[in-house]
Amino acid sequence: MRRISLNLKIAIRSLMNFKLRTTLAVLGVFLGTFSLIVVSNLSDSLAKKTQIEAEKLGKNLLIVRSGIVRRFGSSTRLLSEATTLTTHDARAVLDGSRLVKDVSSSGNKNFPIRYENVVLKSILVMGIMPNYSEIRNFRAKHGRFINYGDNATLSKVAVIGTKVAEKLFGKQDPMGKHILIWRVPCEVIGIMEEKGLDISGLDQDNQIFVPLNTYLRRFVNKDYVNSISVQVINEQSIPVAKAEIEDILRKRHKIKKDQEDDFSVIDLKDVMALKTQAMNMIKVLGRVSAVVSFLIGGLGILSIMILIVNERRIEIGIRRAVGSRKRDIILQFLLEASFISFSGGTVGVILSMITSILIFLIAKLPFIISPAGYAFSFFASITVGILAGIYPSRKATKIQPVDVIKS
DSSP single-letter state for residue 197: B
The helix, strand and coil proportions of the chain, stated in percent and rounded to the nearest 5, come to: 55, 20, 25
Query: Would you state the pLDDT for residue 74?
Result: 45
Among 390, 401, 406, smallest CA distance to 324 is for 401
Distance CA(374)–CA(371), nearest Å, equals 5
Query: Would you state the pLDDT for residue 327?
Result: 78
Query: Would you state the pLDDT for residue 316?
Result: 77
Among 48, 43, 50, 98, smallest CA distance to 74 is for 50
Task: Point out the residues of the chain with pLDDT beneath 70.
Answer: 1-8, 10-11, 14-15, 17-18, 51, 54-56, 69-80, 199-201, 269-279, 282, 286, 404, 407
Distance CA(377)–CA(115), nearest Å, equals 56
Query: Would you state the pLDDT for residue 1?
Result: 62
Torsion of CA 26, 27, 29, 32, to 10 degrees: 170
Distance CA(229)–CA(247), nearest Å, equals 17
Query: Would you state the pLDDT for residue 279?
Result: 65
Distant-in-sequence, close-in-space partners of 67: CB < 8 Å, separation ≥ 6: 78, 79, 80, 81, 82, 262, 263, 264
pTM: 0.64
Reported as a single tens digit per residue, the pLDDT across 328-382 is: 778 777 877 888 888 888 888 899 889 989 988 888 888 888 777 788 888 888 8
Cα 332 to Cα 299, 324, 342: the distances in Å are: 19, 11, 15
Query: Would you state the pLDDT for residue 128?
Result: 96
DSSP single-letter state for residue 235: G
**Boundaries of every domain in the chain:** 2-52+273-406, 83-261
